[in-house]
Amino acid sequence: MKKKIIDQDYILSNGVAIPKIGFGTWRVKPGKEAYESVLMALRNGYRHIDTATVYKNEKSVGQAIKDSALKREDIFVTTKLPSHVKSFEGAKREFAKSLKRLGLSYVDLYLIHAPWPWIAIGTDHTQGNIEAWKAMIELYNEKKIRAIGVSNFAPSDIEPLIQATGFVPHVNQLPFYVGKPQLENRAYCQKNNILFEAYSPLMSGRVFKLRLVNQLAEKYGVTPAQIALRYTIQQNTLPLPKSTHEGRIINNAELDFVIAPEDMEKLEALHLHPKSRF
């Protein structure tokens, strides 16, 4: 019997298995909200939790993981290096802080959160990214991280890392949803065997306003969210839906249906943000 999508994995280029659906925690408030939503996700079959230093909820996420009673090795945990940290020693320090806040002895995936500080989008920090990347490679070799990658990086941001170190990221995490095809970034990741993770797969709820998504939801007897998430799965990307409501958390993982090729073509043809990475 075929496994449900929630129980399936992608295999990274280094052989590490990563669950096909992740639970995102961006904009989930630290404390009770983050703790309870992560615990609900884990109790309803999610085994992949995505957080970041900048979300300020690592401590709550870590406590939920501890209280879930699941084995540590059965949960895939991602966190991220703050976007403004662009040095070897800085990356080492920030990783140690994240590990302490999470209450873990290792993380499964660590990402550079962006190629530039969020307050200076588009500025050049190539050398700083290389230094941070070298630190992450060292932590990876020390087995404190099982896989390393980047977030919000274009091919032109990734290439210098590879040229300087010979180490190809295992993952790139970018916004991807119906209407934002990310053709160049997806093609680059596929060519280089980099897993493409789709954050904001529900477009912060705006995807529910798309007529085509609603029409297909009615056609397939599912919710608009399920259409949007299944779309990302059929594009061989890894969605990171988030919710603080248990019903939606459960619903977002029920993706065991198939969108027909002709309907996938219609969804792919929607270009709401064709040029912007964001």
Cα-based distances in Å from 114 to 14, 124, 154: 23, 11, 10
Q: Which stretch of DSSP H or E encloses residue 150?
A: strand 148-151
CB–CB of 218/246 below 8 Å? no
What is the Cα–Cα distance from 17 to 243, expressed in whole angstroms?
Answer: 24
Tokens for 147, please give them: 């896989």
Amino acid 70 reads L
* Residue 43: partners with Cβ closer than 8 Å, 6 or more residues away: 68
Respond yes or no: is residue 55 known to be catalytic. yes
Among the options 10, 35, 46, 55, which is catalytic?
Answer: 55
Mode of pairing for the β-strands spanning 171-175 and 195-199: parallel
Burial class (CB in 10 A: 0-12, 13-18, 19+), 245: exposed
- Cα 84 → chain centroid: 19
Mode of pairing for the β-strands spanning 76-81 and 109-112: parallel
Known catalytic residues are: 55
